[in-house]
Amino acid sequence: MAEMWLNMGPQHPMTHGLWNLRVKVDGETMTEAEPVIGYLHRGWEKITENRKYPQIIPMADRLCYGASMSWSHLYCLTIEDLMEIEVPERAKWIRTIVLEAQRIGSHLMWLAALGTDLGSYTVFLYPVRERELFLDLMQNLCGARMTYNYPRIGGVRNDVPANFERDFTRVLNHFEKRLSDYEALCDQSTVFRMRMEDVGYLSPEKAKNLGVTGPNLRGSGVDYDVRRDDPYEMYDQVDWKVCVEKSCDAYARYRVKMDEMRESCNIIRQCIKKMKPGAIRVKPPRTAPKGKTGWAHVEDPRGEGFMYVIGNGDERPYRLKVRSPIFVTVSAAPEMLVGYKIADVPAIMGSVDMCLGETDR
């Protein structure tokens, strides 16, 4: 069969979010790939130029609605860097706990999507069932299940509810047992390993050069994690390890995320023990001087998230730039896809964990 360009998307059951993957196929093998994004572009950065600083926090939630706490927290970190505010200690502990819970929730959603891609609806329903527990925890904390609007510039919105430690400990104990079940369901399944091993190879040099970050980078053997190497919040006060795998294929990226879920449970447990009472918010100034800049980067569940802000002299930012990790990983997708078969596309793109909200902004 002659070579032809195939459009996988924009209306397609596999693509999580609205984007188009154009692949040039020779029979079943892909010779070129070109991702086309922009279907979900909302002009986020331009809108923020006309909003006051606190009004942008719920907007940041909607950047990636799958991991929304991570993005509103990143925004608050950026503005705290701009205005040079020091956040009280208890707020930092709470933020760390909540961020790690968000990481687990986001990774569970990724696992569910990977299950649908590979054809196993059981692997879809089990993580979603666990994620409900974490969403219930978040609902107890801040009242919302998805877009939380919980961090504030200078701290967090409210203190933890009653029975916080008890609920979290129960959920974590239950979850760790279930996580072993999922690992058994996937890792010990020859079919799963056959589909994920040796596909989507991304060498470490290419990964670093192409700007891939996060679990995708660590799945290629590069030992870099923003939480450890450029610490923020309370990550340097907690004893945890960075998960790295050496095999550079889709299976390595899957294993990194599964290990990260366990490490997150570990971090949350330590934070709950080490948390001290205290203030949870300081009052930030309303304005920032014109021309003053600030930036912050965090380890989003999908990679390195980064925001850069320039003040305008009044209550609104002059420019707010968002760097989303999946934006860059999608541009590196052709590197991972060329040479494999079309049937491998769901396995490869599923292991990358796409979220269109942050890509298109």
Partner 1 sequence: MIANGLYDFIYGIALWILQVVAWFFNNILAWFSVGAWFVSPGVVEFLTTLLVALVVFIVGFLVSITFIWEERKILGRLMDRRGTQVGFLGLFQNFADGLKTFIKEHIIPDEVDKQLFNLAPVLLIAMSCFMICLIPIGPDFFMANLNSGLLLVFAVFSLAPFAILMAGWASNNKYTVMGGMRAAAQLIAYEVPILLSVAAVVVLVGSFNFMEIVSFQQDNTWLIVPLFIGALVFFISAIAEVERIPFDLPEAEAELVEGWMTEYGGFRWGLIMLSEYVRGFAACGVLVLLFLGGWAGPDFIWPEVWFLIKMFMVFALFIWVRGALMRVTTKQILGLGWTKLMPLALINLGIAIALKMGGWL
Partner 2 sequence: MERIGLAPGGKTGDVLAQDIAQRFQQGVTVTKSTHNRLYAKVDKSVLVSLCTYMRDGLDFEHVTSVSGVDWLEEKKMQVVYHITSYANKVTAELVVDLPRDKPEVDSITFLWGGANWHERETWDMFGIVFVGHPKLVRLLNPDGTEVFPFRKDFVSGRRV
Contacting residues toward partner 1, per CB under 8 A:
4, 6, 8, 12-14, 28, 115-123, 125-126, 129, 185, 189, 191-192, 194-195, 341-346
Backbone angles phi, psi at 251, to 5 degrees: -65, -35
Contact, 105 vs 112, CB < 8 A?
no
Backbone angles phi, psi at 144, to 5 degrees: -130, 155
Q: Binding partner 2 by CB under 8 A: which of 29, 149, 189, 331?
A: 331
Contact, 157 vs 149, CB < 8 A?
yes
For partner 2, what does the binding mask look like between residues 226 and 265, x meaning CB under 8 A? Answer: --xxxx----x-----------------------------
Question: How far, in Å, CA of 315 to CA of 287, rounded?
Answer: 5
Closest C-alpha among 40, 41, 35 to residue 331: 35
Residue 321 interacting partner from partner 2, partner 1, none (CB closer than 5 to 8 Å by kind): partner 2
Closest C-alpha among 125, 160, 168 to residue 266: 168
Q: In DSSP terms, which residues pair with 281 in a beta bridge?
A: 155
User: Smallest gap, in angstroms, from Cβ of residue 13 to partner 2?
Assistant: 24
Q: Within 206-225, which residues bind partner 2 (CB under 8 A)? A: 206, 208-213, 222, 224
Complex with partner 2: residue 41 or 170, whichever CB lies closer: 41
> Does 46 participate in binding partner 2 (rule CB under 8 A)?
yes
Q: Which stretch binds partner 2 (CB under 8 A): 37-45, 93-101, 124-132, 347-355?
A: 37-45
Query: Residue 86 corresponds to which amino acid?
Result: E
Residue 61 interacting partner from partner 1, partner 2, none (CB closer than 5 to 8 Å by kind): none
Question: How far, in Å, CA of 129 to CA of 131, rounded?
Answer: 5
Complex with partner 2: residue 39 or 65, whichever CB lies closer: 39
Residue 39 DSSP class: T
> Does 201 participate in binding partner 2 (rule CB under 8 A)?
no
User: Smallest gap, in angstroms, from Cβ of residue 169 to partner 2?
Assistant: 27
- Strands (E) in 254-302, as ranges, are 293-300
Q: Which residue has the tokens 């570990």?
A: 266
Strand ordering across the sheet containing 317-323:
293-300, 303-311, 317-323
Q: Which stretch binds partner 2 (CB under 8 A): 180-188, 264-272, 274-282, 317-325?
A: 317-325
User: Smallest gap, in angstroms, from Cβ of residue 106 to partner 1?
Assistant: 21
Q: Which stretch binds partner 2 (CB under 8 A): 72-80, 108-116, 121-129, 315-323?
A: 315-323
User: Smallest gap, in angstroms, from Cβ of residue 109 to partner 1?
Assistant: 16
User: Smallest gap, in angstroms, from Cβ of residue 343 to partner 1?
Assistant: 4
β-strands 4-8, 20-26 pairing: antiparallel
Give yes or no for a cis peptide into 277 (omega within 30° of 0): no
User: Smallest gap, in angstroms, from Cβ of residue 122 to partner 1?
Assistant: 5
238 Ramachandran zone, left/alpha/beta (phi>0; psi -120 to 50): beta
> Does 22 participate in binding partner 2 (rule CB under 8 A)?
no
Q: Which stretch binds partner 2 (CB under 8 A): 56-64, 101-109, 178-186, 316-324?
A: 316-324
**Residue 331 in 3-state DSSP?**
helix
Question: How far, in Å, CA of 208 to CA of 290, rounded?
Answer: 35
User: Smallest gap, in angstroms, from Cβ of residue 337 to partner 1?
Assistant: 13
Torsion 62-258-244-189 (CA) sign = negative
Complex with partner 1: residue 4 or 279, whichever CB lies closer: 4
User: Smallest gap, in angstroms, from Cβ of residue 249 to partner 1?
Assistant: 15
Closest C-alpha among 186, 183, 133, 154 to residue 73: 154
| Chain residues that interact with partner 2, rule: CB under 8 A | 37-38, 41, 43, 45-46, 206, 208-213, 222, 224, 228-231, 236, 295, 297, 304, 306, 308, 310, 318-319, 321, 323, 327-328, 331-332, 360-361
